Amino acid sequence: MRLLSVQNLSVSIRGDDGIARELVSSISFDIAAGETLGLVGESGCGKSLTAMSILDLLPKPQAARSKGSVLFKGENISTANQPRLRQIRGKNIAVIFQDPMTALNPVQTVAQQIIEVLQIHFPKQSRSAHRHRVLELLREVGIPAPEERLSAYPHQLSGGMRQRVMIAMALACEPDLLIADEPTTALDVTIQSQIVRLLKGLQAKNGMAMLFITHDLALVSQVSDHIAVMYAGKIAEYGKARDVFATPHHPYTQSLLAALPGIHHPPKSPLLALEGQVPAIESMPSGCRFSNRCRFVAEFCHHNVPPVEHISDTNTVACHRWKEINS
Ligand SMILES: Nc1ncnc2c1ncn2[C@@H]1O[C@H](COP(=O)(O)OP(=O)(O)OP(=O)(O)O)[C@@H](O)[C@H]1O
Ligand SMILES: [Mg+2]
């Protein structure tokens, strides 16, 4: 069953010059119950804007506008009012962001913050039940000696511990979907893999689905059932992760994978670093957005937007030349 279905989502933000620019352009994806969708792409391609628009958490709300529909368990939440969204936010969909310091309250202890979440969602339970649950949650996310951490303030914890507290808070409401926007970027590699293992373990136990956002393709290969490769506000390639990693069809995905050491390299793709950068929104190519960096570019690529085409029942690609270059 589809838990979340995002259809033709676009996000525009009006700049200081008064011009509205479309930073995310008509993207679609689904997440099934219990599954993980990895959303990957270089910095600035619109991953966070996509994540934020799902729950209407866009920055500068007066200047931002999103279009398209977001169905959660069949309910169109893109037209839901704020009270309903708040309800969903706490109860069904939890979000964790890159920097836990911005999400944790610096003047409240770890216990107070998690208890607050529990009070909102389980108001009928007693205070001692909440306290018991806090300890259980801290234990679940791998915080050693949780009894001793209850009265700690966020600044007294290491980065990895703060991230675990964030995850504990997100899990406190037993969400159906966890949106994790670069949850491990600020952490060192060992802690990073611990957190990823932790999330996978909790997912297996609770059956929650995840939207896992990262620019780290190796990381996403460890966690995702499905993957959406984003480039400059659009989805370049989408579908079953195993297929995308085994036979990437979009030149962008191929370049990203070719730059990764230790992952199977598709035939005909030498180890090439991708040159150049994601174009700035003001200088976006009018045809294929990847055209100015693509080694397979043809003249018509510069002028025509590639349609989303099916590679298989499950996977799609948006490239004019995908058949030729993969034959
Ligand atoms: N509040 C804002 N006002 C104007 N432009 C914004 C705003 N937030 C994001 N952008 C622009 O939108 C584009 C997409 O940003 P977004 O944060 O979604 O990228 P991202 O893929 O999450 O990147 P990263 O990997 O660095 O987190 C970028 O070009 C960014 O500069
Ligand atoms: Mg981001």
Compute, in degrees rounded to 10, the torsion defined by CA atoms 181, 183, 188, 192.
-120
Indicate the pTM of the whole model: 0.91
Report CA(322)–ligand 2 centroid distance (Å): 28
- Together in a domain, 110 and 131: yes
Write out the residue range of the structural domain in which residue 156 sits: 2-224
Q: Read off the pLDDT of each residue in 147-162 and give the average, rounded to a whole number.
A: 90
- Ligand 1 atom closest to Cα of 230? 21
* Residue ending a domain, choose from 204, 224, 244: 224
- Ligand 1 atom closest to Cα of 51? 18
**What is the reported pLDDT for 265?**
53
- Together in a domain, 244 and 200: no
Could you give the CA distance from residue 28 to residue 235 in angstroms, rounded to a whole number? 8
Q: Read off the pLDDT of each residue in 278-287 and give the average, rounded to a whole number.
A: 88
- Ligand 1 atom closest to Cα of 215? 25
215 Cβ closer than 6 Å to some ligand 1 atom: yes
17 Cβ closer than 6 Å to some ligand 1 atom: no
- Together in a domain, 176 and 47: yes
* Residue ending a domain, choose from 224, 256, 276: 224
Q: What confidence tens digit (pLDDT) does each residue in 298-307 have?
A: 999 999 999 9
- Together in a domain, 270 and 188: no
Confidence tier at 271 by pLDDT (50, 70, 90): very low
Confidence tier at 120 by pLDDT (50, 70, 90): confident
Domain count, the chain: 2
Q: Read off the pLDDT of each residue in 243-265 and give the average, rounded to a whole number.
A: 85
44 Cβ closer than 6 Å to some ligand 1 atom: yes
- Together in a domain, 153 and 169: yes
- Together in a domain, 218 and 244: no
Q: Whose CA is nearest to atom 30 of ligand 1?
A: 44
- Together in a domain, 255 and 177: no
Q: What confidence tens digit (pLDDT) does each residue in 156-204 have?
A: 998 888 888 998 998 888 899 999 998 877 777 777 788 888 888 889 8
- Ligand 1 atom closest to Cα of 278? 29
Residues in the chain: 327
- Together in a domain, 193 and 272: no
Report CA(158)–ligand 2 centroid distance (Å): 22
Percent of the chain beyond pLDDT 90? 57
- Together in a domain, 198 and 235: no
CATH label of the domain that carries residue 134: 3.40.50.300
> Mutation test of ligand 1: which of 11, 16, 21, 23 has the most ligand atoms closer than 8 Å to its C-beta?
23
39 Cβ closer than 6 Å to some ligand 1 atom: no
Confidence tier at 264 by pLDDT (50, 70, 90): low
Report CA(171)–ligand 2 centroid distance (Å): 22
* Residue ending a domain, choose from 194, 224, 254: 224
Distances (CA, A) of 248 to 145, 193, 253, 259: 45, 25, 6, 13
Percent of the chain beyond pLDDT 70? 95
Q: Whose CA is nearest to atom 9 of ligand 1?
A: 49
The tally of CA atoms less than 13 A away on the side-chain side of residue 49 is 27
Report CA(282)–ligand 1 centroid distance (Å): 14
- Together in a domain, 219 and 234: no
> What angle (nearest 5°) sits at the alpha carbon of residue 324, between those of residues 321 and 327?
140
Among 7-16, 111-120, 129-138, 262-271, where is mean pLDDT lowest? 262-271
Among 59-68, 111-120, 133-142, where is mean pLDDT lowest? 59-68
- Together in a domain, 128 and 253: no
Does 51 score more than 50 pLDDT?
A: yes
Residue with tokens 């059932």: 225
248 Cβ closer than 6 Å to some ligand 1 atom: no
- Per-chain mean pLDDT for the chain: 89
- Together in a domain, 157 and 235: no
Q: Whose CA is nearest to atom 31 of ligand 1?
A: 44
